[in-house]
Each structure stands twice: as structure tokens, then as C-alpha cells.
Amino acid sequence: MAPSSFLAYTLALGIAAAIPGPGVAALVGRALGTGFRRTMPMLAGLVLGDLIYLTFAILGLALLAHTFETAFTIVRVVGALYLLWLAWKFWTSGLTPEKIERSPGRRDGLMSFAAGLAVTLGNPKTVVFYLALLPVVIDMTGVGLADWTVLSLLTIAILYCVLTPYVALASRARSALADRATLKTVNRAAALAMTGAAGFILART
């Protein structure tokens, strides 16, 4: 595959990833509530979801979203309900000064990862994006395992480079907080961001 094709893919995906959507809203909401380190598993889940859809697109499964419409609906609803549950937790209790430095634990990381994966898999527009993008910038007749590997590595690098600053900025705003009143505002902002992401997902169910 020509280097120009990889460059075109990099630019197109970078621009698309930078546009705030349900994934960005979920990341920002969690980072505001729990900080940088505890949000990174969610980002990893989002990236894995993109890799899964990228693979489906490369394999030519253009009818996947239609064929498995029920499964997509279930995944979308589960992801949205989890975000709503997190929103409720942040709205009703959320972070306090005593909780800010608490260790997240293994279960929290796994649940955060699963939530990120569900957010991406619950949005079939992601696979539609890859199905629309790939034929434009890449000669699909010549895509092999090596090309898939390069595209996957590019996808991981692009998404982390574009989305990590969102997490870092939201986390910095959180770590600068000093009093309970301000923390309450941040908890409410996190709840609203997650509710918005859940609403975006459910609206397309």
C-alpha cells in the first residue's frame, strides 16, 4: 500500500476523532469525576472498539450493522445505561476531597474499559465511517495482513494522540479543585456529560 494512502487515512481519522462525539463526552465526563489514570482504561476500550470496526470494514462486512441490528441495539442500550448509572453516581455522591486519591482497584479499571468498549460498539456509525473512509483512501483490493497491521497501529496512535489531551485537560481541571462546593459542580458537570453521551446513543437506538 502506498505511503500516501496511509497519510490520507491518518489525516482523515485524526480530524474525525477530534470532533466531539459520544466517546469524547464519556471520556471528559469520567475524567472530570475520577481523574486521568482512572479514565485511561475507558480510552483503551474506545480504541479497541474502533479496531474491531476497522477490522470488520477491511473484511468487507458492509452489511454487519444491518445483519446484527438487534445485537447492536443491545450493546448500545447497555452502554448507555452504564453511562446513566455513572451519571447518577456522580450527581448523587460523586467525588469528595477524601476520595480523590483513593486507589481505583482492579474492578474499577475493568468496568471502565468495558464501558469505553460499549460506547464505541454501541455506535454503528463508527463502522459506517470506516466503510466510507477506507475505499476512498485505500485500494481495498490490495489490502493484506501487513496493511491491516499498519492501519491498526495507526488507528491506535491517532486515537490516543487525539483523545488523551481531552482526558488530560479534564483531569487537570479536576485536580485543581480544592473545596467541596467546586467538587460538587464538577460532579454535576461529569453527570451531565455522561447523560448527554447516553442520550446521544439512545437517540439512535
Helices and strands per DSSP (H, E), number in the chain: 9, 0
133 pLDDT exceeds 60?
yes
65 pLDDT exceeds 60?
no
- Cα Rg, the chain, nearest whole Å: 18
Per-residue pLDDT band at 142 (split at 50, 70, 90)? low
118 pLDDT exceeds 70?
yes
Question: In this predicted structure, what is the pLDDT of residue 177?
Answer: 54
Question: In this predicted structure, what is the pLDDT of residue 75?
Answer: 60
Highest mean pLDDT among 166-170, 178-182, 195-199: 166-170
Considering the chain, what is the average pLDDT of its residues?
75
- pTM comes to 0.69
**3-class DSSP state of 36:** helix
**For 179-190, what is each residue's pLDDT tens digit?**
667 667 767 877
105 pLDDT exceeds 60?
no
Q: Give the dihedral sign, CA 160/166/171/176.
A: positive
Per DSSP (E only), the strands in 11-123 are none
Ranges of each domain in the chain: 3-16+26-203
Alpha-carbon distance of 204 to 107, in angstroms, equals 30
